[in-house]
Amino acid sequence: MAIPPFQPSITTLFAGAMLLLGTVVFAVSARYVWRATSVYRATEIPDMGEPVAESLVRVSGTVANKDDALVAPFSETKCVALRYQIEERRLNLLNLFPWYVTIHEATGAVEFTVETTSGSVPIVKPARTVTLTKRIIATNGVDEAPLEQIQTFERDHDDIPETTVWRDPPAVLQPLFRFLSLGSRRYSEQRAEPGDSVTVVGRITEDATGIDPLVVSDRPPGKTVFRMAKFSILGLFVSFTGILLGVFLLVVL
């Protein structure tokens, strides 16, 4: 007697898709959460002392002056670590209220030194993640001209749109868009300047002369982890829910 071919139902296909998607999202989110917890897993050191090469460490202190510095694009402030954003006020399907959406973002850093109560710790490479206090430099409506340095910055970057549908809507929608301030832009910076207190997490270099930084932060470890991993934590929750739903559909139904 011939065995009839397997014909998966729509429920089975949906459950399999939920399992596959949930597993992928869970793995990616878990990777970022694990990376963020390096702030806790790192060994706190007061100075270079006798470090073990490539060990994960954390050092807190004051940013020392450095000749080689970055210049923040909106405030024109000298700094050693920087993250800047341009956000535009928009609506979206998930959030029916006006909200600022990031349309341009970048991070930069240079080598610097952290001065502790016990000595100096060289940060010998640019940091990969910068999570510092956000400072709003300017907020401009559609009809307001931004600061001269901001205008120059936007002209020099082709990936920043000069206008969008939110800034230049159809005429019939313009009164509503202006009332909701849609299309307004906000310019912000996160900076570590000489004299600021920071915490740096990274690995001791192979020659044990400094730290190869992973994270530069001005928050306590707990707040730093949450800021770095909050979206990944949400991803873990959503993906785990999807996996449970997929298993339920396959086993129970």
Q: Is residue 174 part of a domain?
A: yes
Structural domains counted in the chain: 1
Domain of 214?
A: 43-219
Q: Is residue 228 part of a domain?
A: no
Under DSSP, the state recorded for 75 is: T
Please state the three-class secondary structure of 137-203 as a single string.
EEEECCCCCCCHHHHHHHHHCCCCCCCCCCCCCCHHHHHHHHHCCCCCEEEEEEEECCCCEEEEEEE
Q: Is residue 23 part of a domain?
A: no
- Phi/psi for 201 (5° steps) reads -115, 130
Q: Is residue 35 part of a domain?
A: no
Is the CA virtual torsion 37, 40, 42, 45 positive or negative? positive
**Which pairing describes strands 134-140 and 43-44: parallel, antiparallel, or unpaired?**
unpaired
Q: What is the pTM (predicted TM-score) of this model?
A: 0.79
Q: Is residue 32 part of a domain?
A: no
Per-residue pLDDT of the chain (253 residues; tens, 9 = 90+): 455 555 567 777 777 788 888 888 888 888 878 877 888 888 888 888 777 777 889 999 999 876 778 999 999 999 999 999 999 999 876 666 888 999 999 999 999 999 998 888 999 888 888 999 999 999 999 989 899 999 999 999 989 988 899 999 999 999 999 999 999 999 999 999 999 999 999 999 888 888 999 899 988 877 887 777 777 778 888 888 888 887 877 777 6
Q: Is residue 182 part of a domain?
A: yes
**Which pairing describes strands 185-192 and 81-90: parallel, antiparallel, or unpaired?**
antiparallel
